[in-house]
Structure 1
């Protein structure tokens, strides 16, 4: 298994990567092909594939924010069972992030992720890929140490149509498992930066940000 970074839409691996995304994720979660050009060329955005026998069987995208010493997992795709892909991607990603934090003179504080809440009653089939079942993924992320932020969470659709996407919970995996809250200002700064590429924010998202601005901390709860 190889862990390979993709930095251009012209890389043949990117088409395989994008096709896998379209098979797995709902359409509102997948950025259009050509719009990937700038993100892939952005040195702060790290997109890696798991390559097995010349096939892209897994993908992870994440980024490190040196000013806050935190990371964000944009997504992780485990496209085939029986290869220990989840562990391979998680371990390879963490090794890379630890090296980035070390180069920044710090120990990684933690990592954000948006996690589907399968208990909300919505159907998240993820292209019928059983390894991506939201119940399974939620438990795996819990085992990795993720905790959900104690807030009513929505995010803007990546189709940039002003729609508020429901059914996700913003979560955080602190390096120190004893951390049970985050500064609300960190959450505001992170979300404002993370979604700055989308110009058409839904009112629900703007209201959530305003509520956070009035808070000092946000609790971290078990998932």
Structure 2
């Protein structure tokens, strides 16, 4: 399977071209991308949108214009862009987050393997379970249900309040985990060698699956119509 447009490479290319744009275009793109990023959990999707906006700004500057003049009403453009993008799917949100969690688990287990110290893997497993069962789905649900109007400049505080409420729930859950669940867990851990191998295999499998989803997304890019309309 060809790994096309991987997130890090795409971001590196975007950053290179982004640095050559005029300051007002950089500020406009940053504002639009931040709005999209607040309601989309998939970094790769956001970076694809950023790539199209950068190309749009570069084309405008080549014609002696700036991006705000081409876009017009920036808030209206944000709403149209968000409406054109597919709602985040739970599977994609979980894949994106699980890859990072497994990489963290791999780093921790490998560190303990090299240092020869014990690892409270049963506690980490409980925290990972809460992340999978509670944190990721609730964050995805918040992003899926939030109205686009909450993300505009005049109502941005509503979305911030919703995020704060979710964070409070997470904080309470972690306190309960530490005070009640952790002491009751059996003092049994997976050997470091097995844990390292397990996290390595799971990470490779998840990255391969995520890459496949990335490639499907790169082929679709449904927001292109909104961008192309403004170019005309």
TM-score, with structure 2 as normaliser: 0.27
Give the number of the structure whose residues are more often helix, by fraction: 2
Give the number of the structure whose residues are more often strand, by fraction: 1
TM-score, with structure 1 as normaliser: 0.28
